Amino acid sequence: MATLLKTSTEIQKGKNKKSAKDNAIAGPSETSTYKPRKDKTLMLCSRGVTQRMRHLMRDLEVLLPHTKKDSKLDTKSSLHLINELADLHSCSNTLYFEARRHEDLYLWISRSPNGPSIKTHVQNIHTMDELKMTGNCLRGSRGIVTFDGNWEKDESTKLMKEIFTHTFSVPKTSRRLKPFVDHILLFSLLDNKIWFRNYQIIEKDPLTPTGPPVPSLVEIGPRFVLTPIKIFEGSFGGPTLYSNSEFISPSSTRASLKKEQGDKYRIRKQTQDQREQRQKRTRDDLPEDQLARKKVFA
């Protein structure tokens, strides 16, 4: 019996050596060549941000545990300095919130340091504190980044989808990550705008906790709308790959509204001057009254 066991053990060892030799000849396996993604996102803003803009940044920081925050950037012209900050923090993605005139917010999404980068205009901002929705998710959990079917129609939208995927998807190697998936980050493309929504995944109906699991979605927040302006080949600059010809800057919109109001005031004053001149001509054309004061008391 001992001889049989010894013979079977030797045969098994020979098979293991043979399989190892075959694997070495064939090359490395797929598991050995797999490299985990180690993307980190740098988040910073410019001077002049308002309270609502800061709350939006705080909500995004809660949703993305792989982000690193930095202090406010003093300059608005030398944006290439952000690539150096991303290099210091070992970040490969950048979210830069640029505030203009304390009311306009622009969001730069860039792959540092070589690009590409997207410049967008942020509108319809609603933070978690404003919405006060019933949904809730674990702090530091991973979110499933999803896109609707309109992102595969154009090359520019495909490029934006790839940048959003690298920036907003949390890698498994994040230190602050909790191994739990309970919410969905949805990016929808409608009317040449990008609509962002955040939903919680509920396994069971709260009204019937003992019933069968019925997955459903409940919106948490925040929510905002991005209008893409330009896509640059480099990071925060370079040749323009895409330009939105339908975009009108908010400063131009306000200038046109002020011009319309000024035109209304100008038309009203011109009408008033014409009325006064017409009344003066009418008084001059009338014959002199015999009962006028200057004749009666002459």
Buried b (16+ CB within 10 A) or exposed e, 250-267: eeeeeeeeeeeeeeeeee
Stretch (H or E) spanning 98: strand 93-100
Question: What are the tens digits of pLDDT across the range 125-161?
Answer: 998 888 877 777 888 888 889 998 889 888 999 999 9
Query: Which value, in Å, is the radius of gyration of the alpha carbons in the chain?
Result: 33
CA distance 113 to 85: 10
Q: Which residues contact 92 (CB under 8 A, 6 or more apart)?
A: 38, 39, 40, 41, 86, 111, 112, 166
Give the β-pairing of 223-234 and 237-243: antiparallel
How many contiguous H segments (helices) and E segments (strands) does the chain have? 8, 11
Domain ranges in the chain?
41-252
Exposed / middle / buried, residue 109 (Cβ in 10 Å: 0-12, 13-18, 19+): buried
* Whole-structure pTM value: 0.75
CA distance 223 to 216: 19
Q: What are phi and psi of 286, to 5 degrees?
A: -70, 145
Q: What are phi and psi of 197, to 5 degrees?
A: -140, 150
Homologous superfamily (CATH) for 41-252? Brix domain (3.40.50.10480)
Classify residue 72 by its DSSP letter. P
pLDDT tens string, the chain, 298 residues long: the values are 344 334 455 545 454 554 444 444 444 444 456 677 778 899 999 988 999 999 999 999 988 988 888 888 887 778 888 889 989 988 999 999 999 888 899 999 999 888 899 999 999 999 888 887 777 788 888 888 999 888 988 899 999 999 999 999 888 877 788 888 888 999 999 888 999 999 988 887 767 777 777 788 888 889 999 999 999 999 888 899 999 988 888 888 888 888 888 888 888 888 888 888 888 888 777 777 777 777 777 6
